Homo-oligomer: A and B are copies of this chain.
């Protein structure tokens, strides 16, 4: 599917502030960036970090004053394979080495606390069917709601709160999958038809021989997602990280089918 994505960040920095910006579509094997434009107004020198094996692209800059960062791209996200019930869960010994870092707990995904719950609730199931049941459980048991969580909320709290936004649904999903021994990682993305339009947080699980992208909120179809960043949890995939305070002036995200252009 060819998608046209656009994000515009408009922030004010009173003092010179170092920022890491992660808004560019990934150069990952599962999608092709056909064209892209990155504009930063006024001009700032950028440090483009090397693209790692996961294809993530981030740049750093020292920003000051009112800064507008506009990113546009046309991306072919190919045909993302759907997670199916018959996919197998790899034993720990059979996992690729680079998936192991996604089996351990992270800041917002304390999977070490959920071993018993995960076994009690999902232990009788196997493979992709087990993960599908996790996703169903999350959808049935969490309300999508603003104002319940904040940037420090972990899946431990969401599990009790029973509500949150895409970030929290994603953390809950990652946490339960890791508690079941399945590698799971957070993905930031552009999503078609997300209402209201915004950056989206979804996650991927490693089944069979690859990563399968899922959206625990069911607000977006994985087939329509354009990957930006990948990490252990939200701590790794923020679209904007700074080493000092900044003020949001405006922020807009839009995604369209490229054929609609």
Which chain B residues lie closer than 8 Å to A97 at the CB level? 49-50
Instruction: Say whether chain A's binding surface is mostly helix, strand, loop, or mixed.
Output: mixed
Residues facing B in A131-149 (CB within 8 A) are 141, 143, 148
- Contact B20–A152 (Cβ < 8 Å): no
Give A41-52 as 1s and 0s: 1 = Cβ < 8 Å from B's Cβ atoms: 000000101100
Alpha-carbon gap, A100 to B50, bound state (A): 12
**A104 close to B104 (CB less than 8 A):** no
Q: Select which of B93, B141, B157 is within 8 A of A47 by beta carbon.
A: B93
A117 surroundings in chain B (CB, below 8 A): 160-162
Q: State whether B93 touches A61 (Cβ < 8 A).
A: yes
Q: Is A76 an interface residue (CB 8 A)?
A: no
For A162, the chain B residues whose CB sits under 8 A away are 116-117, 120
> Does residue A114 face the partner (Cβ distance < 8 Å to B)?
yes
Among the 9-residue stretches A7-15, A105-113, A200-208, the one with 4 or more Cβ atoms under 8 Å from chain B is A105-113
The reply on A156 being an interface residue by CB < 8 A is yes
- Interface assignment of A236: CB less than 8 Å from any CB of chain B: yes
Instruction: Flag if A18 contacts B160 (CB, 8 Å).
Output: no
Q: Are B160 and A20 in contact (CB under 8 A)?
A: no
Interface residues of A in 86-120 (CB under 8 A from B): 91-93, 97, 100-101, 104-107, 109-110, 112-114, 116-117, 120
CB–CB B160/A92 < 8 A: no
Report the bound CA distance from A61 to B92 in whole Å. Answer: 9
Residue A181 lies at the interface, judged by CB distance under 8 Å to chain B: yes
A60: chain B residues within 8 A (beta carbon):
92-93
A156 to B160 Cα, complex, angstroms: 7
Quote the shortest CB–CB distance from A114 to chain B (angstroms).
Answer: 6
Residues in A2-53 with C-beta less than 8 Å from chain B: 18-20, 47, 49-50
Inter-chain CA distance A162–B113, complex, in Å, is 10
A-B contact pairs, 6 of them (CB 8 A): A104-B236, A105-B235, A107-B107, A107-B112, A112-B235, A113-B157
